[in-house]
Amino acid sequence: MLDKAQLTQQILQGLPVDDCPVFGEAFAAWWMDSRDRGGMRLTTAGYQAIATIDIAAYVFDIPVNMVVLPRHLLLMDRKLDCPYYLKTGKKPQITLFGSEQALMLTMYGDFDRFMRYLERT
């Protein structure tokens, strides 16, 4: 899997030249944590940008009654090595852009059990 800088560069190469931001602006706008060693969580703008390249996306519903706690956000930030996007609202979802993590979430069957798996690893 590509790191954040490589993925940002790949997205930028696919955008039209007249509509293309500079690397630093795109990097800061597309990633929730714009530090090089920060997590792979995408902002809404990053989610829209990554949709412009050919990358597999796996969408999972998060139960409405499950509250995504700050500890879950920190855990995902540390443990997930693929880009991901959290959609909040009436129908919360997580979109994973990595087949390995998507397979694990599918195998565990629900988001809460997947979070417990991430805590153990």
16: left (phi over 0), alpha (psi -120 to 50) or beta: beta
pLDDT of amino acid 35: 87
pLDDT of amino acid 66: 78
The residue segments making up the domain with residue 94 are 4-120
Mark the ranges of the chain whose per-residue pLDDT is less than 50: none
Q: How far is Cα 80 from Cα 75, in angstroms, rounded to an integer?
A: 8
Strand, coil or helix: 91 = coil
Q: Tokens representing 29?
A: 């706008």
**pLDDT per residue over 85-110, tens digit each?**
999 888 999 999 999 999 999 999 88
Total domains in the fold of the chain:
1
pLDDT of amino acid 75: 93
pLDDT of amino acid 86: 94
pLDDT of amino acid 17: 83
